[in-house]
Amino acid sequence: MNPIDAPVDTLSYMVLGYAVILGCVVLYIASLALRFRHLRRELEVAEAIERDNADEANG
Amino acid sequence: MAKRVESDSKISKPRGSSLRVYLRVIGAIVWKDIAAELRNRQMISAMLVFALLVVLIFNFALELDIVTRDSVTSGVLWVTFAFAGTLGLNRSAAMEEDRGCLDGLLLVPIDRSALYFGKVIGNVLFLLIVEAIILPLYSVLYNVNLFVPGLLLVIVLGSWGYVAVGTLMAAMALQTRMRDVLLPILLFPVVLPVLIPALKASNAFLQAFEVGDIMLWINLLIAYDLIFTTIAFLVFEYVVEE
Amino acid sequence: MEPMPKQLKILNWLTIALVAAGLYLAIWYAPREAIMGEVQRVFYFHVAAGWVGALAFLVAALSGALFLIRRERRWDRVAMSSVEIGVVFTFINIVSGSIWARPIWNTWWTWDPRLVTATVMALVYLAYIMLRQSVDDPDRRARFAAVYSILGFISVPLTFLSIRIFRSIHPVVFGAGDALSSGMSSPRMQVAFFFSLLTFSFIYGTLLWHRLRLQHLSEKLEIQKMKMLSAEN
């Protein structure tokens, strides 16, 4: 491993490393956000159906 | 919650000191498994045939010269035992479920750990029997002496640790949708602390290293066996409760 | 679904600030390492990610044990959420470690004890998730998950110990030795290092809180669906 070469070469790897780390964290946060949105929507639909059923039952 | 099972089972009323009853329950479970196996010998023959096939596959997969082959003997043996072991563990756990044995056993007013130890001892016995057959066969096939006392000790210790964890995992796996497929996935990452010293010590004995050096691995193996057995028997009740 | 509590909003911003500061410290403040060059800076976040993986694992095992003792559903929720975050960060740990190793040791993978242990931990995590997905009954699922996380948590450090002992008996000479001991000479590096640990701990806590809320929402939906099913009957 030639010490003279080392400092020049490794910058791109550093960038890659940080990109991967931050990228993964961001992806995970995005997945959480998406799942939140999906669940909220489904819950709204489910609650709406329940309200409709209750209305029907009451006439 | 526990009903008293009366005359139509070996374990009727808790009598005498509770330790003696405890041991008797364990003995009864071991004997039940042995008797069941003696009747049709399905599990042992399956494990044996499978182990032989694995040894055979390794022969083709690792076409080695004699010198290199000696260095991998330990690895080949333990991989064989691990895979044959999963077969036995799955079968043994499935047996409980198949005939409702588990439900019957759970009715006995005894600590669940007796059930655990009974199964572990039975499973270790079966694995040891298979290993006892594979070892001489391997010796003959590859012209290598495997009857080194140290190696035999390591195999016994390693098998115990493997089965101590494996019995717990198999009990869980069989109650899931994936059933036996899940056992290796659950077991292998967790049982590594047992396999690593077992592998190293086996290899050391086979290559005739200094016994003093090997003692470290043996001590580790014993320590891990104790740790895992203790934890497994403590949590076993959570796995079989209904 | 209750709106985000004020404390969580504050925590969000605090964590973002810490990340910004951590990045600054790691990339600019800390001096460049003489031998390894710039890529050594990956080390700060790489270790911090590994730390989160281990912390998440510990939390999962503890919550599992608490669930077994108390039988309160929320401990299972904490365990599940913690494992999910732990998998992500263990993955980050392994990949960033690999990226760091490549220019230094000219290989994408080394059988270094820490890297192997991180992989084993990831496998235990994955097995945990597969176990959970394979059980339908919520109580049984929680019980099994708890048992497995406890065993896994005990097992992984023992694996590390065994591999480490092997290496000390048979020192394999490759690479610049133990990374943790080398390269931490400068105090500015130490600042960046420990700050990264702090930052990532906050990231873990924040993500855990969000994930718990998600889990809570998911269970709320399940209850709603069951109400609908029983209403039909």
Output C60 or B99, whichever has higher pLDDT: C60
Tell me the mean pLDDT in the region B94-111: 76
Q: Which residue has the higher pLDDT, C210 or C100?
A: C210
Dihedral sign for Cα atoms in the order A37, A39, A40, A45: positive
Which residues are within 8 A (CB) of C60 and not within 5 positions of it... i.e. 6 or more apart? C78, C79, C82, C83, C86, C128, C149, C153
- What residues in C contact A7, CB-CB < 8 Å? 32, 37-38
| Whether C65 contacts chain B with CB within 8 A | no
The residue with greater pLDDT, B167 or B141, is B167
A5 assigned to some structural domain = no
B positions 199-238 inside 8 Å of C (CB): 200, 213, 216, 220, 224, 227-228, 231-232, 235, 238
Q: Which residues of B touch C158 (CB under 8 A)?
A: 193, 224, 227
Nearest chain B Cα distance for residue C1, angstroms:
32
B235 neighbors C150 (Cβ within 8 angstroms): yes
- How far the first Cα of chain A sits from its last, in Å, is 83
C23-30: average pLDDT: 87
For residues C142-161, average pLDDT:
94
Instruction: Give the per-residue pLDDT at B5.
Output: 44
- State residue C104's pLDDT score: 81
Q: What's residue C176's pLDDT? A: 41
Domain parsing of chain C, residue ranges? 11-29+37-173+180-232
Q: Burial level of C232, CB count in 10 A (0-12/13-18/19+)?
A: exposed
Say if the Cβ atoms of C120 and B176 lie within 8 Å.
no
Within 8 A of C126 by CB-CB distance, chain B residues are 185
Do C99 and A43 count as a contact with CB atoms less than 8 A apart? no
Chain C interface includes B182 (CB < 8 A)? yes
Supply the mean pLDDT for chain C.
Answer: 87
Point out the least confidently predicted range of B28-37, B104-113, B222-231, C94-103.
B104-113
Residue B211 pLDDT grade (very low, low, confident, very high; cuts 50, 70, 90): confident
Q: Give a yes or no: residue A44 inside a domain.
A: yes
Task: Kindly state whether residue A9 falls inside one of the protein's structural domains.
Answer: no
So what's the pLDDT on residue A2? 52
Taking the Cβ of residue C101 and every Cβ of chain A, the question of whether any pair is shorter than 8 Å is answered with: no
- Does residue B125 register a pLDDT over 60? yes
**Chain C nearest CA to B63, separation (Å):** 24
Contacts of C10 (CB under 8 A, 6+ apart): none
Tens digits of residue pLDDT in C108-133? 888 888 888 999 999 999 999 999 99
Q: What is the pLDDT of residues B62-87, one digit of tens each?
A: 877 777 777 888 999 999 999 999 99
Neighbours of B6 (CB within 10 A): 8
**Percent of chain B residues past pLDDT 70, beyond the cut:** 92
Closest approach of C166 to chain A, Cα-based (Å): 27
Give the per-residue pLDDT at B174.
Answer: 92
pLDDT for the residue numbered C127: 96
pLDDT band at C170 (very low <50, low <70, confident <90, very high): low
The DSSP 8-state label assigned to residue B214 in this structure reads H
Number of H helices and E strands in chain A, helices first, is 1, 0
Domain assignment of residue A57, given as a range: 24-59
Domain annotation covers residue A52: yes
CB-closest option in B175, B185, B232 to C130: B185
- Report chain C's C-alpha Rg in angstroms: 20
Pairwise pLDDT comparison (B132 vs B110), residue with the higher score: B132
What is the H or E stretch that residue B19 is in? helix B18-40
Q: What tokens does A6 get?
A: 């080392």
Asked whether the beta carbons of residue C158 and residue B185 sit closer than 8 angstroms, the reply is no
Q: Do chains C and B touch (3 or more CB pairs under 8 A)?
A: yes
CB pair distance less than 8 Å for A1 and C95:
no
Question: Which C residues, 103 through 122, put their C-beta within 8 Å of a C-beta on chain A?
Answer: 103-104, 106
Helix or strand or coil: residue C94? helix
Mean pLDDT of C14-29: 91
Q: Do C152 and B190 touch (CB under 8 A)?
A: yes
pLDDT computed for residue A3 by the predictor: 52
Of B167, B165, B237, which Cα lies nearest the Cα of C143?
Answer: B237
How sure is the predictor about C171, in pLDDT bands with cuts at 50, 70 and 90? Answer: low
Question: Any chain A CB within 8 A of the CB of C203?
Answer: yes
- Average pLDDT, stretch B195-222? 90
Q: What is the ipTM of this complex?
A: 0.86
pLDDT-derived band at A8, boundaries 50, 70, 90: low
State pLDDT tens for residues A17-39.
999 999 999 999 999 999 999 99
Count up the domains in chain A and report the number.
Answer: 1
CB pairs under 8 A between B and C: 85
State the pLDDT at residue B20. Answer: 84
Cα–Cα distance between B215 and B29 in angstroms, integer? 34
For residue B162, give every residue at least 6 positions away whose Cβ sits within 8 Å of its Cβ, in sequence order, or none: B81, B82, B85, B127, B191, B194, B195
Secondary-structure percent of chain C, ordered helix, strand, coil, rounded to 5? 80, 0, 20
Q: Tell me how far apart the alpha carbons of residues C147 and C135 are, in angstroms, rounded to a whole number.
A: 14
Q: Where does the pLDDT of residue B6 fall: very low under 50, low under 70, confident under 90, or very high at 90 and above?
A: very low
Percent of chain C's residues with pLDDT above 70: 91
Mean pLDDT, all residues of chain B: 87
